[in-house]
Amino acid sequence: MDRLPSLTLVTFLLLVLVIPTASFSAQSPFDGCDLGVVAETGAEWAICMPERIPGLTWNGDLIIYAHGYVPDLGQPPSIPVDQYVLPDGTPFPDLANQLGYAFATTSFRTNGLAVKDGVADIMDLLGEFKEQHPLKRMSHVYLFGASEGGLIATRAIEQHQAQFDGGIAACGPIGDFRMQVNYVGDMRVLFDYFFPGKLPPTAIEIPESLMLGWEAVYAPAVAYALSQNAAATVQLLHVTQAPIDQLDPATTALETVLGVLWYNVYGTNDAYVKMGGNPYDNADHTYVGSADDAALNQAVMRYRADRNALASIGAHYQTTGRLKTPLVTLHNTLDPVVPYEHALLYREKVIDAGASSLYTHIPVQSYGHCSFSTAEIVGALNVLLDLVQESGN
């Protein structure tokens, strides 16, 4: 942890142990919550108050949750219910309510890449909540985001510090969004080099047939190809520097490659439309780590990003590190989808901005993307509360 909080182990354990997990909903995470739609944008919202769970009362504070990426498959945006259940089965809305907090979330107004409008959708949600449940004078508003939502939460904290008392950004591409785009693109062009002909046709041209057939046809074909050529698989991982779990290398190698390729398959066309061009660029990149780097760099497909797309990244997808409101970041050190390097790069931005006193990073020493336990989530919240108290917010 980059900054040691004053939180005691006893306090942390008490926070975890007082959560009566037996009362968590066995059905939808939003049972008993208020649901609605923002008329102007079509974004769905959900507000869950502690009183929906017998015996609980609201402490006056609010947690707003920004969810992760949802592929744009031509359907209206809706709240991705599966993203609100932690790996151990704990529903996030229930967790927040059990701790006394009101919980609110939004689908965003668009599926796919939602960062550009996501901050505005979060502010709409906050306005909706205030209309329904006027905040008390001493109330606090906290923002929690995961994956793409982690980037949205970070940008919201940076841009609207007066509206939030603190935030948690988990497993998000907050260090350098262009790096994230290139990481996904590199996995595809390098896969095409080591396993030619398995995916049609190129890294920046994604036909509808590939998206429709990904789960049934192409993902199994990728898995089979990896299993049949261990040497090429090892080289692919070395060159991309994509992490695996050394305790289970075969399973996690497959999970890593498929996980990153999924974003290439479902995100490329959407990003092209929303950014006004191709954002991926490897035109001048030198790849290293293969059995024959000279041959690799000579033969790998090359692309140059469009200026409009790069300008869009700079305007709508990059963070600054200029904090005036406390922020805690949480990231798996072996994240195969959003590399841990993002956390390190964002820390550098915060230091350069002179905002270190408002920032704490929590590394989670494990493999996985947004793979956090309930205890780790509660621990991050407690660190944030400590940071908020120290900052005087």
Q: For residue 234, give the nearest of 180, 190, 188 by alpha carbon.
A: 190
- 172 and 182 belong to one structural domain: no
- 247 and 377 belong to one structural domain: no
Q: Is residue 1 part of a domain?
A: no
- 151 and 181 belong to one structural domain: no
Listed in sequence order, the residues at least 6 apart from 314 whose beta carbon sits closer than 8 Å to its beta carbon are none
What is the C-alpha to C-alpha distance for residues 149 and 81, in angstroms, rounded to an integer?
A: 14
The pLDDT assigned to 134 comes to 85
CA 157 to chain centre: 15
What is the C-alpha to C-alpha distance for residues 93 and 96, in angstroms, rounded to an integer?
A: 5
Give the CATH number for residue 343: 3.40.50.1820
- 261 and 143 belong to one structural domain: no
Domain end (from 280, 312, 344): 312
With left for phi above 0 and alpha for psi between -120 and 50, is residue 100 left, alpha or beta? left
Give the CA angle between residues 169, 172, 178 to the nearest 5°.
135
- 125 and 13 belong to one structural domain: yes
Listed in sequence order, the residues at least 6 apart from 260 whose beta carbon sits closer than 8 Å to its beta carbon are 183, 184, 187, 240, 242, 336, 337
Token pair in block for residue 331: 């990231």
- 294 and 201 belong to one structural domain: yes
Q: Could you give the 3-state DSSP secondary structure of residue 85?
A: strand
The pLDDT assigned to 7 comes to 32
Q: Is residue 217 part of a domain?
A: yes
Q: Is residue 2 part of a domain?
A: no
Domain end (from 312, 336, 352): 312
- 307 and 325 belong to one structural domain: no
Q: Is residue 327 part of a domain?
A: yes
The pLDDT assigned to 283 comes to 98
The pLDDT assigned to 27 comes to 64
Instruction: For 303-332, write each residue's pLDDT tens digit.
Output: 999 999 999 999 999 999 999 999 999 999
The pLDDT assigned to 21 comes to 32
- 265 and 135 belong to one structural domain: no
Q: Is residue 4 part of a domain?
A: no
CA 257 to chain centre: 18
Phi, psi (5° rounding) for residue 55? 90, -5
Residue 138, amino acid:
M
- 30 and 167 belong to one structural domain: yes
Residue 303, amino acid:
Y
- 301 and 376 belong to one structural domain: no
Low-confidence ranges of the chain (pLDDT < 50): 1-26
- 90 and 237 belong to one structural domain: no
Q: Is residue 350 part of a domain?
A: yes
Domain span at residue 39 reads: 9-176+320-391
The pLDDT assigned to 23 comes to 34
The pLDDT assigned to 388 comes to 95
The pLDDT assigned to 1 comes to 46
Is the Cα torsion angle 90, 151, 285, 275 positive or negative in sign? Answer: positive
Domain end (from 281, 312, 343): 312
Q: Is residue 14 part of a domain?
A: yes
- 235 and 257 belong to one structural domain: yes
Instruction: For 91-118, write each residue's pLDDT tens digit.
Output: 999 999 999 999 999 999 999 999 999 9
Q: Is residue 3 part of a domain?
A: no
Domain count, the chain: 2
